[in-house]
Amino acid sequence: MTGPAGNGPGAGGGDGPGGGDGPGAGGPGAGGAAEAAVPAEAIDPDVDLHVPAQRAERPGPVLAAIAAGGALGASARYGASLLWPAAGPGAFPWTTFWTNVAGCALIGVLMVLISEGGRTAPHPLVRPFAGVGVLGGFTTFSTYAADFSRLLDAGEAGRALAYAGLTLVAALGAVGAGAGLTRLATGLPVRGGPRGRE
Amino acid sequence: MNWLLVVAGAVVGAPLRYLTDRAVQARHDAVFPWGTFVVNVGACLVLGVLSGAALAGAAPRSLNLLLGPGLCGALSTYSTFSYETLRLYERGRRFLAAANVAASVLAGLGAVTLGSQVARQLFA
């Protein structure tokens, strides 16, 4: 009754991730008057239940894509830690620093390309594989906190605070730069998203 | 072999982040990204226990690789955390953006410290 024929509440159960519900569900025109004037955009890039297409994601293929991406991302991070090992327990963890900063720049690029301004991914498994899996597996918050804690334990309080602060500033700067430059390149507003919503 | 242990941990950790994030959001609808906060702090707690156990000689190297760079590395995420912070800021939710940064860093550090201390007591 409300939605376009064949794309109603049944879509979540019967329609696969490869089916036709992805672009239509999130597209600007499909929601009709029932939806807010502004299309729902994710705050959480892993999964945001405010986005209907993500709420309806089927676990099987999505979890497989996330696991495969996570294995790739974690392998790259582990490889980097072997190539550039920390100099010692009191040394600045540059490898983890650059891993996190690079991953943050890339998530900014990715999310603008596949979710902002009414855009949708070319395939419903792109976000689970590349965003949740590869980039989520590549970057790490636990090692960041553990490095911070280890530097404090080693009596390097100044370096611990510098590491914690510098990572935050560089990671947030990287995600902002990645998203901002990609918006510029794709013609979206440089400051993303509607302000003051919710 | 070492690499396979990291992969085995990551294959569990990354989907576990997605499932936990969904479960938290389904029970607790909020603008604040509680799902990511929970997985990051949870991974910090596990990594703290692991490092405490390793210091006490109770965690073999293979378990360290499986759970450290593998499970906890993939379960936790800096990219999701930073993109969420950016989105909150751009939507005018500047207090929530700052709160996300402060709470995540402090709770993460606290969880690592707590886990490590508990493990040292347990395995000493």
Residues of B in contact with A136 (CB under 8 A): 14, 17, 74, 77, 79-80
Cβ atoms of A170 and B69 within 8 Å: the answer is no
Residues of A in contact with B4 (CB under 8 A): none
Residues of B in contact with A111 (CB under 8 A): 83
- Beta-carbon contacts of A140 under 8 Å, excluding residues fewer than 6 positions away, are A77, A96, A99, A100, B69, B72, B73, B74, B76, B77, B78
Q: Which tens digit of pLDDT belongs to each residue from B57-116?
A: 999 999 999 999 999 999 999 999 999 999 999 999 999 999 999 999 999 999 999 999
Q: What is the interface pTM, i.e. ipTM, of the complex? A: 0.96
The interaxial angle of helices B94-123 and A142-153, nearest 10 deg, is 60
Identity of the residue in B11, B48, B79 whose CB atom sits nearest the CB atom of A71: B11
Which is nearest to B103 in space by CA: B13, B22, B30?
A: B30
- Look at A145 and B33 and tell me if their CB atoms are within 8 Å: no
B34 vs B28: CA distance, rounded Å: 8
* pLDDT higher than threshold 60 for residue B38: yes
Q: How many CB atoms lie within 10 A of CB A34?
A: 7
| Global pTM value | 0.85
B20: contact with A, CB 8 A cutoff:
no
- Among A11-25, A82-96, B20-34, where is mean pLDDT lowest? A11-25
Cβ atoms of A56 and A11 within 8 Å: the answer is yes
Cβ atoms of A127 and A62 within 8 Å: the answer is no
Shortest Cα distance, chain A CAs vs residue B124, angstroms: 18
What phi-psi label fits residue A123: left (phi over 0), alpha (psi between -120 and 50 degrees) or beta? beta
Q: Which tens digit of pLDDT belongs to each residue from A104-145?
A: 999 999 999 998 888 888 899 999 999 999 999 999 999 999
- Look at B69 and A78 and tell me if their CB atoms are within 8 Å: yes
Structure tokens at A147: 């490095």
